[in-house]
A and B are shown apart, each in its own frame.
Chain A
Amino acid sequence: MGAIETHGLTKRFGELVAVDNLDLDVAEGEIFGLLGPNGAGKTTTISMLATLLGLDGGSASVAGFDVVQQPSKVREQMGIVFQDPSSDDILTGHENLYLHGLMYGVPRAVIPGRIEEALELVQLKGREHDLVRTYSGGMRRRLELARGLLHHPRILFLDEPTLGLDPQTRQRIWTHIESIVAERKVTIILTTHYMEEADRLCDRLAIIDFGRIVALDSPTALKAVVGGDTVQLEVADAAASVAALEVLECVSRSEVRDGRLDVAVQNVAQNLPAIFAAAGDIASFSVRNTTLDDVFLHYTGHDIRNEGAEGVAKHMHRVRSVNR
């Protein structure tokens, strides 16, 4: 049995379908990512799995327990790090961890050892007796990561674990997450809208858009679908070039994006001359590895960061306001 299973999981807010018939099957010990833009339904999904939000349809089980029938069993098995900071800033880091241990029924004699262990893991030793309000955003997130692990959960939910953090701090959090996985058997579900994050951490990932799964596989496999590398071209007549390029065997995808042409190409080194020949007049070009950005664009038809597309913005706004 999987660590997490959902069948037809659905959540509605009024007429807005935030999560639409979601089927997931996450294996024990896996890092599973939910990747999508803001408002795609990631946090709503996590909230339902964590028994904080009721379902409007379908079913879900976490660690073998049904989220509707046995919510307290589910809670005993899970840890969660929320998107927004949720530690008490009038208390010290140590006090936050201690209270968490008590609330999760960790025996009182065991708690000090667990706190040491958790502080070690996220490298907060030495600062644990300072008030949380003196912590930086990154330290606070690390504290909450430590807190989520304190009671040795089988399942750990991380909702946008690096949102709003600077690149260095983000790298550090990634390292901590990787060492969590290396040191103990824990299944991690993380949501993110950062492609690098999903690419680096996840064993498998589901791309979610408008509450639906549009693709689900390992990052490598997802990138393979789009093609080996992406050649970006600036050409005089983009539409004509697309037509000429698409008939080529080595081209798996070509799209116009901001006036430039993105062409996914297998075996770039050998096929570049053919591409140039087909594309016509070229003002400039560049070659880069395919990223999950390309994958996202391929599956959804819109850029994950470009939330200017009106439908997306509107959807996002409504989801945001109901999630508050």
Chain B
Amino acid sequence: MPESRPHRLSFTTTCSLDQVRPAARRLSEFLRTAGCPGEAMAECEMALVEACNNAVIHAVGQTAPVRIEIVAEPGAVTMEITDHTPGFPWPQPPTLPGPEVENGRGLFLITAVMDEVEYIRGSRQNTLRLRKLL
């Protein structure tokens, strides 16, 4: 990051798969403006998409928006994705399913491209905190 001042972006997105890619594009534009390197930007985009997909797909019976907070600073990008799903026990570590299985790769991908992953499961909301070192 060329500047020492942290850049911050915070927004909510509708609990819909159609809104995941627009949210990722918003992240990319923000990181581009902040001077984030291209490879790290693509990996942050991948992790955000997988996190938001999970938040939407597991939001059975509720439509509360997903909240996204991003801080870009010299040396790191931090993203927090907060949903209102029942949540789930985070696998330690997430593993790949068999090659013929059609789902279940999202958490593996998130941990593969992020340097720090913390899942805080609450009674009313859950926050996934992701950190990418630059």
* A and B together in one complex: no
